[in-house]
A and B are shown apart, each in its own frame.
Chain A
């Protein structure tokens, strides 16, 4: 299974862009990069995913390097409600177990006023 490494914690000023890095140097060619976040005592919330092209939705942008060994999640204008643990996950497997998400330790993002 491809693994990811993320910084343990990050701070961001409210209103500024939050850039969360993730390394996934052993990712396979058909594995996607997923980002989820978990606010305290809640279930994880899907943010965005991508294969090799950069992606953008109403929540965030995902920038994947050309060699796919790393990616960055960008929250363009962070708010206090974006304070959460952010997980970068590479989707593994196939067949009946295809798509199971294995969580690493994530990055604890603190957005400060």
Chain B
């Protein structure tokens, strides 16, 4: 299957700072990318959907000003957690899809964010 890479794999930051997570599709062009968050022993929760060149669509309850998503190219989407707080500590996962209506989505390996 296609490869989706996230960077960094883990990050520790101080409360109040911002953290940027990158999601890259390595061998295909991703018109749509999705960002998920997963707390310990819970399932993945969809945060937002981003389409290349347009604004992201956020799920209900997700603060768009806190979780900034940029999908500026067909191979890169970024999630910036602004003014991070300890409650933002979580496992963030992205996935990418080749084209609208295509079959499976491919997932990155995830980024473990710890805010201290």
Binding between chains A and B: yes
Residues of A within 8 A of B (CB): 32, 34, 36, 38, 41-46, 49, 87, 94-106
Nearest CB of A to B90, in Å: 12
Given contacts A41-B110, A42-B110, contact A97 B103 (CB under 8 A): no
Stretch at the interface among B41-49, B62-70, B75-83: B41-49
A-B contact pairs, 10 of them (CB 8 A): A42-B109, A42-B110, A43-B6, A44-B93, A46-B105, A96-B57, A98-B100, A101-B105, A103-B46, A104-B43
Nearest CB of A to B61, in Å: 14
Nearest CB of B to A106, in Å: 6
Question: In the complex, how many residue pairs between chain A and chain B have their CB atoms under 8 Å apart?
Answer: 64
Say whether chain A's binding surface is mostly helix, strand, loop, or mixed: loop
Given contacts A41-B112, A49-B104, contact A100 B43 (CB under 8 A): no
Instruction: Give A86 to B15 CA distance when docked, in angstroms.
Output: 34
Interface contact A43-B110, CB-CB below 8 Å: yes
Nearest CB of A to B36, in Å: 8
Nearest CB of B to A99, in Å: 6
Instruction: Give A34 to B45 CA distance when docked, in angstroms.
Output: 17
Interface contact A100-B49, CB-CB below 8 Å: yes
Closest chain B residue, CB of each to CB of A47: B104
Chain B hits for A106, CB < 8 A = 43
Closest chain B residue, CB of each to CB of A48: B104
Interface contact A103-B1, CB-CB below 8 Å: no
Interface contact A100-B104, CB-CB below 8 Å: no
Nearest CB of B to A107, in Å: 11
